[in-house]
Amino acid sequence: MVSEFSTINHHASVTEAVRLIYNGKVRKTGYKTICAMVTDDFGDLVGVLSMFDVLYHIRPPFLNYLGDSVQIAVQELEAYVNRFKELTVDLF
């Protein structure tokens, strides 16, 4: 059983959360962390944020309708993602 968890404060930016999850350590079992425990200002657990949550909420809405046939330029995607720069974990 895992006894050490990656934690992030609920006021942290989503960018910080993504970096934390992406750079998560590989456990002794060989599995990599894919989520972070969200804590309040007192260090108490208030939720869990996974990479799935992030990707689900920031994906462009048109992906819901067009499926795999979508062609999107990198510049368009970066412009879309930049809209979320100031988004914090507690707003997810």
* pLDDT tens-digit profile, the chain (92 residues): 667 788 999 999 888 888 888 888 888 888 888 899 999 999 999 999 998 888 787 776 666 665 555 566 666 667 776 777 788 888 66
pTM of the model: 0.70
Other beta carbons within 10 Å of 9? 16
d(CA 72, CA 49): 27
User: From start to end of 1-92, where are the E strands?
Assistant: 7-9, 35-39, 45-50
What proportions of the chain, in percent to the nearest 5, are helix, strand and coil? Answer: 40, 20, 40
Q: Please, which contacts does 56-60 make with residues 24 or more away whose CB atoms are closer than 8 Å?
A: 57/92, 58/14, 58/84
Give the residue among 17, 16, 27, 2 at the shortest CA–CA distance from 53.
17
